[in-house]
Amino acid sequence: MSTKDTNQWLYTISPRNKVIDLNLKEIWSYRDLLFLFVKRDVITLYKQTVLGPLWYLIQPLITSVIFTIIFNGIADIKVGEDVEPFLFNLAGVTIWNYFSECLKGTSDAFKKNQNIFSKVYFPRVIMPLTTVVSSLLKFGIQFLIFIGFYIFYASRGQAGSLNVEALWLLPILILLMGLLGLGLGMIISSMTTKYRDLTFLVGFGVQLLMYVSAVMYPIEVAVEKITNNFPESANIINPIIENNPLAGVVETFRYLFFSEGTFSIEKILITMGVTIVIALLGLIVFNRTEKTFIDTV
């Protein structure tokens, strides 16, 4: 028996992962799997549906129409002097959808893939990453639709003005939304392996979160209205909206296209910090869970 070179083991299977044991090399070697999973998601999602990928468009358009009727028509929220309310809502819905798709898709990663996970090993984090990438494709299509409407309204002078100097922030905003969805989703999916309670919270929670994330109103308008109408609870609600990193991203996204609303580079930097913390926390929790979740799921 050769025990002389025991330190030359390729790898060791041990009871628990270290706190941060992110094997990037291993994940990279499974990149083909990531792309094949994305391909699977894309080609199987709308198989045997009549409207097919049109569903990508119907959902945000109808949501935006309804928001326009309720929030701008009935509740009379002012979105800016020369911005069409429908376009304003479409912008919010488009960027928000990316976050919510990532979160929802990731949050049941362990439960949904129980069958595969209990039979074969690959870095588990591939599954949440798949969600983020295939949601990005979906976002891409919805974003193109938004651009289409943007050009249409811009030609009629109803789309504010494009903020060319700040446009470099766009990819960062998208990345922030993806990472926030991924991080929160991974935390939730790790916790739901043992305690299923959180699954009930996700669908409902995402909806609640949307209402405090400035999707259908400008932050400034909301803060002002709440201070006037509910002075007692304003110091509870307003800080939530103002400090919500998601609200910051949504607001900044609209700022890029309409040059309306609040914008500060400081706030973006703080949001980045929060995002990184959440994403890392998600990875740590996910890593700790992936070894033994199959026994408890």
Partner 1 sequence: MSDVILKVDNVSKQYRLGLVGSGTISHDLNRWWNKIRGKEDPYLQIGDTNDRSTKGDSQYVWALKDINFEVNKGDVLGIIGKNGAGKSTLLKILSKVTGPTTGEIKTRGRIASLLEVGTGFHGEMTGRENVFLNGAILGMTKKEISSKIDEIIEFSGCERYIDTPVKRYSSGMTVRLAFAVAAFLEPEILVVDEVLAVGDAEFQKKAIGKMQDISRGGGRTVLFVSHNMASVKSLCTKGIVLENGQVAFEGTAEHAVAKYLSSDMGENTSLKTFDKNYDKPTFKLESLGVKNNNRNYTEPVVEDAEIEINLDITFKIDTTDKYNITYHLHNELGETMFSFYDRDFEIKIKKGNNTIQCTIPKDFLQSGSYSLSLFIVKDKRVAEFAEKNIFYFNVVNGAKEIGVYSGREPGYIKPTFQWKNV
Element (H, E) at 172: helix 169-192
Shortest approach of partner 1 to residue 117 CB, angstroms?
A: 7
Among 104, 112, 225, 291, which residue sits at the site for partner 1 (rule: CB under 8 A)?
Answer: 291
Residue whose CB is less far from partner 1, 26 or 82 = 26
Restricted to residues 110-129, the positions that interact with partner 1 (CB under 8 A) are 115-122
Shortest approach of partner 1 to residue 49 CB, angstroms?
A: 11
Please list the residues that pair with 83 across neighbouring strands: 159
Among 52, 137, 147, 194, which residue sits at the site for partner 1 (rule: CB under 8 A)?
Answer: 194
Q: By CB under 8 A, which span of 76-84, 156-164, 226-234, 289-297 interacts with partner 1?
A: 289-297
Q: How is residue 7 written in tokens?
A: 């330190």
Q: By CB under 8 A, which span of 33-41, 101-109, 167-175, 268-276 interacts with partner 1?
A: 33-41
Among 18, 21, 36, 243, which residue sits at the site for partner 1 (rule: CB under 8 A)?
Answer: 36
Q: Does residue 10 touch partner 1 according to CB under 8 A? A: yes
Q: Does residue 32 touch partner 1 according to CB under 8 A? A: yes
- Burial class from Cβ neighbours inside 10 Å (0-12, 13-18, 19+) for residue 273 reads exposed
Query: CA-CA distance, 257 to 92, in Å (whole number)?
Result: 11
- Burial class from Cβ neighbours inside 10 Å (0-12, 13-18, 19+) for residue 13 reads exposed
Let me know: does 287 contact 17? Beta carbons within 8 Å. yes
Q: Does residue 12 touch partner 1 according to CB under 8 A? A: yes
- Burial class from Cβ neighbours inside 10 Å (0-12, 13-18, 19+) for residue 257 reads buried
3-class DSSP state of 95: helix
Shortest approach of partner 1 to residue 36 CB, angstroms?
A: 5
72-108 in b/e burial notation, b at 16+ Cβ within 10 A?
beeeebebbeebbbbbbbbbbbbbbbbbbbbbbbbbb
Let me know: does 248 contact 220? Beta carbons within 8 Å. no
Please list the residues that pair with 159 across neighbouring strands: 83
Q: By CB under 8 A, which span of 9-17, 155-163, 245-253, 275-283 interacts with partner 1?
A: 9-17
Let me know: does 159 contact 254? Beta carbons within 8 Å. no
Q: Does residue 292 touch partner 1 according to CB under 8 A? A: yes
Give the count of residues interacting with partner 1 (CB under 8 A).
41
Residue whose CB is less far from partner 1, 1 or 164 = 1
Q: Does residue 25 touch partner 1 according to CB under 8 A? A: no
Q: Does residue 20 touch partner 1 according to CB under 8 A? A: no
Q: Does residue 18 touch partner 1 according to CB under 8 A? A: no
Residue whose CB is less far from partner 1, 1 or 20 = 1
Q: Does residue 44 touch partner 1 according to CB under 8 A? A: yes
Site residues (CB under 8 A) for partner 1?
Answer: 1-3, 6, 8-16, 29-30, 32-33, 35-37, 39-40, 43-44, 47-48, 115-122, 194-195, 291-292, 294-296
